[in-house]
Amino acid sequence: MHHENKQFIHLLKDGQFDDIYHQMTASCKSHYSMDTFHHEASSFHHRIRRYRLLNKMMLNGSRYVLWSDFRKEKLLSVQFNRVNQIESIQMTVSSSSKETNLSTKNKYHLPFKEQWFVVSEGANVGMHHHEPIRKKRDGYDFLKTQEQQPYNRRKIGMDGSYAFGERVIAPLHGTIHQVVDGLSDELDTDYPFGNHVIIQHANDEYCLLAHLENGSIAVNVGDRSKPNS
């Protein structure tokens, strides 16, 4: 895996963008023409002398790798399949605006006690899928896995997710501000957060716990939340 990662970066640094393009799956190519990819990759790589490997992980048979320049102003995220084809590639130039450098006054904890995967997060532009939507930009997506698989293939629908039915706890003391329950567990574009809870915390901060199981929410508006409940 280490050799394959280095090989990809060498192709990028040597300007062999056509070779990278030919390594893409048909689905990935549908987002770029060869000329468009060549232009975007060349522009992205301009003035980068070295790349830093930030993260790599295996999930559901795919390899996810994240690189940056040494100032972390540019971020490169690539997903490879089992035969080392590129399933997706994202080249992001970080914004210098204050909006991308938000921090909370409160210290929050994870809403679960076990070890899960962070597959998308809002702390750094380019490392998450929420960036285009301001209301979701600071959100985190978590997956619970078993043997690098997020789903039990013996089950159908949401029941197959290893995260489904797991206990969710409050990340900090606060007051329940909003509760939405009774919606279908399947994704619905009219209700992008699904069943969810919003908690108000000190310093006028709020957190959103979204995509909860229908009928599982055990709190009401006005209740006090505790980190272990």
- Regarding whether 82 and 16 lie in a shared domain, the answer is yes
Least confident of 32-36, 80-84, 154-158, 177-181: 154-158
Share of the chain above pLDDT 90, in %: 48
Q: Are strands 205-212 and 195-201 parallel, antiparallel or unpaired?
A: antiparallel
Least confident of 93-102, 116-125, 179-188, 202-211: 93-102
- Regarding whether 200 and 163 lie in a shared domain, the answer is yes
Mean pLDDT, residues 180-188 taken together = 89
Per the CB < 8 A criterion, the answer to whether 23 and 84 are in contact is yes
Q: What is the pLDDT of residue 156?
A: 63
Mean pLDDT, residues 123-138 taken together = 51
- Regarding whether 215 and 107 lie in a shared domain, the answer is yes
- Regarding whether 172 and 86 lie in a shared domain, the answer is no
Q: Of 28, 60, 93, which residue is a domain's last?
A: 93
- Regarding whether 154 and 88 lie in a shared domain, the answer is no
Q: What is the DSSP letter of 111?
A: S
Strand positions, DSSP E, 61-204: 62-68, 74-80, 86-93, 117-120, 141-143, 174-180, 195-201
Q: What is the pLDDT of residue 153?
A: 66
Range of the domain at 157: 95-229
Long-range contacts of 161-169 (CB under 8 A, 24+ apart): 163/116, 164/213, 165/213, 165/216, 166/112, 166/114, 167/112, 167/113, 168/111, 168/112, 168/209, 168/212, 169/111, 169/112, 169/113, 169/227, 169/228, 169/229
Q: What is the DSSP letter of 97?
A: S
Q: Is the pLDDT of residue 132 over 70?
A: no
- Regarding whether 108 and 87 lie in a shared domain, the answer is no
- Regarding whether 85 and 108 lie in a shared domain, the answer is no
Q: Of 67, 93, 119, which residue is a domain's last?
A: 93
Provide the domain count of the chain.
2
Mean pLDDT, residues 113-128 taken together = 62
CATH number at 120 reads 2.70.70
Mean pLDDT, residues 21-41 taken together = 94
- Regarding whether 115 and 76 lie in a shared domain, the answer is no
Question: Which carries the bigger pLDDT value, residue 144 or residue 36?
Answer: 36
Q: Is the pLDDT of residue 144 over 60?
A: yes
Mean pLDDT, residues 29-45 taken together = 94
Q: Of 93, 114, 136, which residue is a domain's last?
A: 93
The whole-model pTM stands at 0.58
- Regarding whether 229 and 117 lie in a shared domain, the answer is yes
d(CA 34, CA 193): 37
